[in-house]
Amino acid sequence: MNDSGTNYMINAMPYTGKTTNTNGLPQGEYYLKELSRPIHGTNRNITCDNWFTSIPVSESLLAEPYKLTIVGTVRSNKREIPEELKNTRSRPVGTSIFCFDGPLTLLSYKPKLPRMVYMLSSCDAGAVINPTTGKPEIIIFYNQTKGGVDTFDQMCSSMFSSRKSNRWPMTMFYGILNIAFINSYLIYTYKVLSKQEKPLNRREYMKRVSTKLSKPWMRSRLAIPTLSRRLRENIENILPRITRLLKKLKNLRPKFGVTVTNVLLTKKHRTNLPKLIKNQKKKKDEPKPPPLVLAKGEYKWRVNQNVAFFVWKDTKLVYVLSTAYHPRQKTTCRRTQKDGSKSDVSCPIGILEYTKRMGGVDRFDQKRGTYSISRRSKRWWMRIFYFLVDSAITNAYIMYTQNDRVHNLMTSLHFRTVLARNLIVNFSSRKRTVAQSPNFVTKKPKGSTSRQKAIHGIPDELRLNDVGSHMPMELLKYRRCRACSSKNLNKTSKIQCTKCQVPLCIVPCFAQFHTP
Each residue's pLDDT, cut to its tens digit, for the chain (516 residues) gives: 999 889 999 999 888 888 877 888 888 899 999 999 999 999 999 999 999 999 999 999 999 889 999 999 999 888 888 888 887 777 888 899 999 988 899 999 998 888 889 999 998 778 889 888 889 999 999 999 988 888 888 888 888 888 888 898 898 999 999 999 999 999 999 999 999 999 999 988 988 888 888 888 888 888 888 888 888 888 877 776 545 554 554 454 434 333 334 455 566 666 667 766 655 445 556 666 667 778 888 888 888 877 888 888 888 888 888 887 877 888 888 888 778 788 888 888 888 888 877 778 888 888 888 888 888 888 999 999 999 999 999 999 999 998 888 888 888 898 998 888 888 775 655 455 555 455 554 444 444 444 444 555 676 666 666 667 788 999 999 999 988 888 878 899 999 998 888 999 988 898 888 887
DSSP-derived secondary structure for 264-316? EE--TT-TT--TTS--PPPPTT-PPPPPP---TT-EEEEEETTEEEEEEESSS
| Cα–Cα distance measured from residue 307 to residue 325, given in angstroms and rounded to the nearest whole number | 9
| Cα–Cα distance measured from residue 514 to residue 460, given in angstroms and rounded to the nearest whole number | 9
**CB-based burial label for 230 (10 Å; 0-12, 13-18, 19+):** exposed
Q: Which residues is 320 bridged to in the sheet?
A: 265, 310
| Cα–Cα distance measured from residue 134 to residue 109, given in angstroms and rounded to the nearest whole number | 11
Given this model, what pLDDT does residue 462 score? 67
| Cα–Cα distance measured from residue 232 to residue 270, given in angstroms and rounded to the nearest whole number | 12
Given this model, what pLDDT does residue 283 score? 56
Given this model, what pLDDT does residue 448 score? 47
Given this model, what pLDDT does residue 313 score? 85
Query: How many beta carbons lie within 10 A of that of residue 175, not counting itself?
Result: 15
Which long-range contacts does 385-393 make (Cβ < 8 Å, 24+ apart)? 393/419
DSSP label of 321: E
Backbone conformation region of residue 293, classed left if phi is above 0, alpha if psi is from -120 to 50, else beta: beta
Q: Find the radius of gyration of the CA atoms of the chain.
A: 43
Amino acid letter, residue 206: M
Give the closest residue to 439 by CA, choosing from 411, 410, 402: 410
Is the bond into 240 cis (omega within 30 degrees of 0)? Answer: no
Domain boundaries, the chain: 27-152, 240-277+291-358, 451-513
Question: Would you state the torsion angle of the CA atoms of residues 487, 492, 494, 499, taken in this order, to the nearest 10 degrees?
Answer: 20
DSSP label of 72: E
| Cα–Cα distance measured from residue 494 to residue 13, given in angstroms and rounded to the nearest whole number | 91
Q: What crossing angle do the helices spanning 168-194 and 148-158 adopt, rounded to 10°?
A: 110
Predicted TM-score (pTM) of the model is 0.46
Q: Element (H or E) spanning 478, and its range?
A: strand 472-480
Strands, E assignment, 170-286: 263-265
Give the closest residue to 328 by CA, choosing from 348, 299, 304: 348
Given this model, what pLDDT does residue 113 score? 81
| Cα–Cα distance measured from residue 479 to residue 456, given in angstroms and rounded to the nearest whole number | 16
| Cα–Cα distance measured from residue 188 to residue 16, given in angstroms and rounded to the nearest whole number | 33
As a three-state string, the secondary structure of 326-364 is CCCCEEEEEEECCCCCEEEEEEEHHHHHHHHHCCHHHHH
